[in-house]
């Protein structure tokens, strides 16, 4: 029950003013972090030329197409934080592209993985895929298990367990934390398409690299990007 008498007292007004100031400072800090952050979304290997191995030529080619875009964002847009979703395909290609830039040229950048749930890799049976995934988790500057965050929880599903809705919650978290999203998207329906629609809904800037056009870049500037 609200204590209006206390809120109208000098102590209550002072406490309320302090709360409002704290909220403003938290909002400004989030905005500043968001300005320096981008995220990735993209297709699985079957829509990217069957690049199931990170060491095959197709994966390396996609990485080479992505690299100059990231360099431009670092040098011209002051981007320092990169969030990828950890899944096989474009997510992991993006992570390792950022990691290469971090190791070689930009040690200050942060390479972050946002995992939809802790057991994401449990259905992947290939040993190489499992090994690369674990190495990614070990090297990441930060790992976020999105279903452990109250505002991104899927009701009725245990934390850590698989549920398809957690993939979109992970995507929404990444977009919410970012100023720009980079999507390897061919225009088809699916998880990447859902994420792209969310980017547009939130007014963030969208960089689309189109697999069907040799990963040609298209930029759609958002009102909040």
Closest CA to 211 of 54, 83, 86, 93: 93
User: Which residue shows structure tokens 């061919």?
Assistant: 186
| pLDDT at residue 125, as a whole number | 80
How does pLDDT run across 94-131, given as a tens digit for each residue? 999 999 999 999 999 999 999 999 988 877 888 888 99
Integer Cα distance of 33 and 178 in angstroms: 8
Q: Is the pLDDT of residue 88 over 80?
A: yes
User: Rounded to whole angstroms, how far apart are CA atoms 52 and 48?
Assistant: 9
What pLDDT is stored for residue 26 in this prediction?
67
């Amino acid at each position: 029950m609200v204590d209006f008498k206390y809120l109208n007292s000098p102590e209550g007004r002072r406490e309320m003013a302090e709360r409002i100031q704290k909220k403003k400072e938290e909002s400004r800090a989030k905005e500043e972090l968001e300005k320096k952050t981008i995220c990735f979304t993209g297709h699985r290997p079957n829509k990217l030329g069957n690049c199931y191995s990170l060491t095959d030529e197709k994966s390396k080619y996609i990485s080479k197409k992505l690299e100059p875009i990231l360099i431009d964002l670092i040098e011209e847009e002051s981007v320092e934080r990169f969030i990828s979703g950890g899944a096989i395909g474009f997510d992991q290609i993006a992570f390792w592209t950022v990691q290469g830039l971090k190791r070689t040229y930009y040690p200050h950048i942060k390479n972050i993985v946002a995992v939809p749930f802790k057991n994401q890799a449990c259905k992947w049976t290939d040993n190489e895929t499992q090994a690369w995934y674990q190495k990614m988790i070990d090297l990441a500057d930060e790992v976020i298990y999105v279903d452990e965050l109250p505002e991104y929880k899927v009701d009725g599903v245990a934390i850590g367990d698989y549920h398809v809705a957690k993939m979109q919650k992970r995507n929404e978290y990444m977009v919410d934390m970012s100023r720009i999203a980079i999507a390897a998207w061919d225009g088809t329906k699916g998880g990447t398409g859902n994420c792209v629609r969310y980017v547009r809904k939130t007014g963030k800037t969208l960089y689309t690299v189109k697999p069907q056009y040799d990963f040609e870049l298209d930029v759609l500037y958002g009102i909040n990007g």
